[in-house]
Structure 1
Amino acid sequence: MNSLFRKDLSDFKPYEAEVNNCKVILNANESFINIEKQLEDEIISVIKDIEINRYPDPTGEKLRKIYGSYSGTDKEKIMIGNGSDELISIICNTFVNSGDKIVKLNPDFSMYKIYGVLHGAEVLEYDLKEDFTLDIDDFIDFINYEKPKVVFVSVPNNPTGGIVKKEDILKLIKSVNSIVVIDEAYFEFYGNTVIDEIDNYDNLIILRTASKIGLAALRLGFLITNSTLLMELYKVKPPYNVNSITQEIGALIYENKQVIEDNISRILREKSSLQISLLSLSERINFKLYPSGTNFILIEIYEAKELYEYLKNNGVSVRFFGKGRLENCIRITVGNRDENRLLLEAINKFLGDR
């Protein structure tokens, strides 16, 4: 049987999502606000009207129109996906032949590499500087030397929270002969975007997600690009990739833009409070907080593994990386007031037990 397996995947390590039994879950960059409760009656109403015996709209016409209004672009420039993960796979399947190169930053979202490898690409990683900032000119030189088919950059970066200025993103796009994918998964928290530039560059693709605004369970992502690239991408997209329930709930949520904006403001207030508290704690022990344009905070601490295990044993789940550039880093999703309090109390106790 082993002779039937792909030899190039013999040492491949799949992404392993953590099964979480902790009381306080701050490891996956989800929203702590249950938007379902805010719009419960409306959600029940749209679900009741779904004809579950029928296939979903293959292109999500209604959802694309509403998201186009929400995001400030035309529905004809949007593709919907089963999470942005599927859209990353579609991009690779559209443009990458076996042996072609893909470039991603290190560190950055791990799924770029995973889908690249699964599609037979040679995945090259360009290291961010020691402070996790990007030398844009050197990065451009690296890309032009390696000549990859596709370049992936998350802005803001996951997992560091760092940003790349818009002028640097545009410099990148116009300076390389590659498809440049700008993943704006955390756009709502950062506020800046290059979505208004999609018709100005023939090699630009933008990714967005509903997961960070409170719809992680729906698995809903958006791809925005020009008509030429979109036509190629539709050759690869499965016909019924986003189910009807996700489409209808997604359309309802994005129609309620004020609810989303209010929730984002609430999360950012909690983030500010958490940052202040963590900065105060950092004075007791030498750990570093990195600037963040997202709904999470990355800290670097020598005792990262010990702190992670201590928090988990006390019912608080955070993201521990434990290898490479992130060996001593912990990523903390912003929780609600009570969750952040429990987190801080546990960190305080960890420091006191030293």
Structure 2
Amino acid sequence: MNSLFRKDLSDFKPYEAEVNNCQVILNANESFINIEKQLEEEIINVIKDIKINRYPDPTGEKLRKVYGYYSGADKEKIMIGNGSDELISIVCNTFVNSGDKIVKLNPDFSMYKIYGVLHGAEVLEYDLNEDFTLDIDDFINFVNNEKPKVVFVSVPNNPTGGIVKKADILKLITSVNSIVVIDEAYFEFYGNTVIDEIDNYDNLIILRTASKIGLAALRLGFLITNSALLMEIYKVKPPYNVNSITQEIGALIYENKQVIEDNISRILREKSSLQISLLSLSERINFKIYPSGTNFILIEIEEAEELYEYLKDEGVSVRFFGKGRLENCIRITVGNSDENRILLEAINKFLGDK
């Protein structure tokens, strides 16, 4: 049987999502706000009308129209996906042949590399600066030397929280002969976008997700690009990739733009408070807090693994990386005021033992 397995995947390690039994879950960049409780009656009503004996709308016409209004993009330039993860896979499947190169930053979202490898690509990683900033001119030179089919860049960056200025993004797009995928998963927290540029460049693709605004369980993502690229991408999209329940609830949520904006404002207020408290704690022991345009905060501390285990024992789950550029880093998702208080009390206790 082993002779039937792909030899190029013999050493491949799949992405393993952590099973979490902690009281306070701050490891996955989810929203702490239960948006379905805010719109519970409306959600129940739309679910009741779904004909579950019928296939879902293959293109998500209603959802694309609503998201187009929400995002400012033409609905004809939008594709829906089963999370942005599926859309990353679809992009690779569209443009990448076995042996082709793709480029991602290091560190950046791990799924770019995973799907690249699964599609037979040679995945090249460009190291961010020591402070996790990007030297755009050197990066452009790297891309032009390697000549990849696709370049992936998350803005803001996951897991660092860092940003790339719009001018630098446009410089990248115009300077390379590659498909450039700008992943705006954390757009709602950052506020800046290149979605208004999709018709100005023939190699630009934008990804968005519903997971960070409180819909992580739905698995819903969006791809926005120009008509020519979208026509190619539709060639490999599965016909019924987003189920009817996700489409209807997604459309309902995005129709309630004010609810989303109010929730984002609340998360950003909690983030500001958490940053101030972490900064105060960092004065007791030397750890670094990186600037963040997202709903999470990355800290670097020499005792990262020890702190991670301590927090887990205290019932608080955060993201510990433990290797590579992020060896001594912990990523903390912004929680509600009670969750952040429990986290800070646990960190304070940990520092008290030092």
3-state DSSP of counterpart to 2:18: coil
1:117: how far off? 0.1
Aligned to 2:158: 158
CA distance in 1, matches of 2:334, 2:270: 7
CA distance in 1, matches of 2:14, 2:79: 26
1:267-297: CA deviation from partner (whole Å, max 9, x where unpaired): 0000000000000000000100000000000
CA distance in 1, matches of 2:351, 2:250: 43
CA distance in 2, matches of 1:41, 1:146: 53
1:166-217: CA deviation from partner (whole Å, max 9, x where unpaired): 0000000000000000000000000000000000000000000000000000
1:83: how far off? 0.1
CA distance in 1, matches of 2:221, 2:158: 16
1:338: how far off? 0.1
CA distance in 2, matches of 1:13, 1:286: 34
1:238: how far off? 0.1
CA distance in 2, matches of 1:97, 1:8: 14
CA distance in 2, matches of 1:249, 1:173: 34
3-state DSSP of counterpart to 2:318: strand
1:224: how far off? 0.0
1:4-28: CA deviation from partner (whole Å, max 9, x where unpaired): 0000000001100000000000000
CA distance in 2, matches of 1:266, 1:15: 31
3-state DSSP of counterpart to 2:25: strand
Percent identity between matched residues is: 93
1:142: how far off? 0.2
1:144-172: CA deviation from partner (whole Å, max 9, x where unpaired): 00000000000000000000000000000
Report how many aligned residue pairs link the two structures: 354
1:219-246: CA deviation from partner (whole Å, max 9, x where unpaired): 0000000000000000000000000000
CA distance in 2, matches of 1:166, 1:238: 32
Q: Structure 1: where are the runs of 5+ without partners?
A: none
CA distance in 1, matches of 2:33, 2:137: 40
CA distance in 1, matches of 2:144, 2:56: 42
Tell me the TM-score normalized by structure 1: 1.00
Aligned to 2:218: 218
3-state DSSP of counterpart to 1:51: coil
1:88-123: CA deviation from partner (whole Å, max 9, x where unpaired): 000000000000000000000000000000000000
1:34-54: CA deviation from partner (whole Å, max 9, x where unpaired): 000000000000000000000
3-state DSSP of counterpart to 1:153: strand
1:325: how far off? 0.1
**Does residue 341 of structure 1 match 2:341?**
yes
CA distance in 1, matches of 2:46, 2:202: 38
CA distance in 2, matches of 1:173, 1:290: 26
Aligned to 2:282: 282
CA distance in 2, matches of 1:295, 1:314: 22
**Does residue 319 of structure 1 match 2:324?**
no
CA distance in 2, matches of 1:186, 1:73: 17
Q: Structure 2: where are the runs of 5+ without partners?
A: none
3-state DSSP of counterpart to 2:308: helix
CA distance in 1, matches of 2:308, 2:298: 13
**Does residue 92 of structure 1 match 2:92?**
yes
1:300-326: CA deviation from partner (whole Å, max 9, x where unpaired): 000000000000011000000000000
1:353: how far off? 1.4
Tell me the TM-score normalized by structure 2: 1.00
CA distance in 1, matches of 2:283, 2:31: 29
1:347: how far off? 0.2
3-state DSSP of counterpart to 1:158: coil
1:56-78: CA deviation from partner (whole Å, max 9, x where unpaired): 00000000000000000110000
Aligned to 2:257: 257
CA distance in 1, matches of 2:314, 2:167: 44
1:125-155: CA deviation from partner (whole Å, max 9, x where unpaired): 0000000000000000000000000000000
CA distance in 2, matches of 1:152, 1:96: 13
RMSD over equivalenced CA pairs, Å: 0.2
CA distance in 2, matches of 1:221, 1:155: 16
CA distance in 2, matches of 1:143, 1:275: 35
